[in-house]
Amino acid sequence: MLVVVSDTHSRSGHKLTGRTLEAVREADVVVHAGDFNREPVLDAFHEVAGELHGVYGNTDSAAIRDRLPVARTLEYQGRCFAVTHTREGGPTALSLFGRERGADVVLFGHSHRPTLDVSGPVTLLNPGSHAQPRGNRPGHAELEPVPDGLRCRLVTPEGEVFEEHVV
């Protein structure tokens, strides 16, 4: 399973609870789409995630920016994922970012709004924020292999699936 989180905004710990913490511990791969905030938070994620791929966000400290890229691409179960925190220009810019990298899915954060948009040439996925939802539903994303692709679910820390689609 691939788990995606974003926008932790913490000074000391990962702030993972409930199903979100379980999912990160169980995952083959964890992606954090930026805004850890402070270096101890990045270290806390490394302690609970088996394989962590992160990018830095606009609120991340210089120490995190020294350790992580602003964007990255990774493969999982035959799908290409482009990861960034945000892009000026909204969905169009995110889609272009993904197409430039040959991605099937763009993973991003910043808005704290869980989003699963499969309407364009590239799927856009924002897990929201498990720690600071800012008026949105708190969440993370879980992607699991199924015969026709990857089942993507947006899930609350309490374990409620509130959006699902195969990508």
pLDDT band at 18 (very low <50, low <70, confident <90, very high): very high
Nearest to 128 by CA among 1, 4, 41, 2: 4
* pLDDT tens, residue by residue, 94-114: 999 999 999 999 999 999 999
- Structure confidence at residue 59 (pLDDT): 97
How far is residue 86's CA from residue 105's CA, in Å, rounded to a whole number? 14
- Structure confidence at residue 99 (pLDDT): 98
How far is residue 92's CA from residue 107's CA, in Å, rounded to a whole number? 14
Q: What predicted TM-score, i.e. pTM, was given to this entire model?
A: 0.98
Q: Where are the domains of the chain?
A: 2-166
* pLDDT tens, residue by residue, 133-157: 999 999 999 999 999 999 999 999 9
Antiparallel, parallel or unpaired: β 79-84 and 71-76:
antiparallel
Q: Which fold has domain 2-166?
A: Purple Acid Phosphatase; chain A, domain 2 (3.60.21)
Decide: 53 and 30 in contact? Cβ < 8 Å. yes
Q: If you count DSSP H runs as helices and E runs as strands, how many of each does the chain have, helices first? A: 4, 11
Beta strands across the sheet bearing 2-5: 52-54, 29-32, 2-5, 140-146, 149-155, 161-166
